Amino acid sequence: MGDLIQCLDHGYVRLVDVMGSDLTVVNAARVSYAKESSELTERDIRLIKFLAREGHTSPFRHAIAQFEIYAPLMVARQWWKYIIGSAHAEGSGDSLDAWNESSRRYITEEPVFYVPRDDEWRSAPENSKQGSGGRLDEILDYHEIGELIHVYEQHIEQSIHLYERSLELGMCAEQARLFLPAYGMYVRWYWTASLQSVCHFLAQRLEHAAQKEIQEYAKAILELIKPHFPVAVGELLSD
């Protein structure tokens, strides 16, 4: 499909493919009575509302979406941990998820790193061990923040140099990647999931308490998927 939304400084979400529509959900539910709708009616919309409200989730797993995602590793790993954890969560129904990620065991494309803008660095939260607080420039002066960012950028440059040099000297790619800083490095993957699984992810990662970077990706996923399933997405995220 090629629909793409930019995220952060170098990232993006691209909707690769979609299988199904709101009508897919309706007909999956109606098959138990040997019924089928050829177009979405008000009666069908009421059925979708009922299914979502009562937690009858299996019909929503017959619609599928596939995304290509390019994000910093810290976002990718949080995303992946969510998928693994939700696969066993009560009611998640997360049985239709696939994840295939590019690997620096096999490729040596130029490393790209996430560098927040000066006003995007955040402070530690006051009353929590996780998450973040307000803007870091509210508690540090310009020179202190500038020094941290400068050191970070130097660290990236030196790491890329060591990575490229090790490859030039004949080191295998799967070990040369050890020289690269992990959490800020961009990785690319395909995520294929059922509509219910996508909405379950969105319900968690659109919350204000979610990490800001992954919220940005969740907003992109929502913008891309909702036009294809306007009723079902609206109802599954209505809480």
Whether the predicted pLDDT of 88 surpasses 60: no
Cα radius of gyration (the chain)? 21
More confident position, 85 or 108: 108
Q: Is 160 helix (H, G, I), strand (E, B) or coil?
A: helix
Two structure tokens written together for 127: 């009353």
Give the pLDDT band (50/70/90) at residue 35.
Answer: confident
Task: Identify the pLDDT of residue 90.
Answer: 46
**Euclidean distance between CA atoms 98 and 153, whole angstroms:** 34
What angle (nearest 5°) sits at the alpha carbon of residue 205, between those of residues 204 and 207?
75
Q: 151 and 144 in contact (C-beta within 8 Å)?
A: no
Of the listed 61, 104, 177, 205, which one is catalytic?
205
For residue range 176-233, list pLDDT tens digits in order: 999 999 899 999 999 999 999 999 999 999 998 899 999 999 999 999 999 999 999 9
Helix (H) or strand (E) holding 26: helix 22-30
Which residue, 199, 193, 1, is CA-closest to 98? 193
For residue range 46-63, list pLDDT tens digits in order: 999 999 999 999 999 999
Give the pLDDT band (50/70/90) at residue 86.
Answer: low
Mean pLDDT of the chain: 90
Q: 113 and 184 in contact (C-beta within 8 Å)?
A: yes
For residue range 126-178, list pLDDT tens digits in order: 877 778 888 898 888 888 999 999 999 999 999 999 999 999 999 998 899 99
Task: Identify the pLDDT of residue 95.
Answer: 54
Two structure tokens written together for 237: 């995220």
Q: Is 31 helix (H, G, I), strand (E, B) or coil?
A: helix
Query: Is 205 annotated as catalytic?
Result: yes
pTM score, two decimals?
0.89
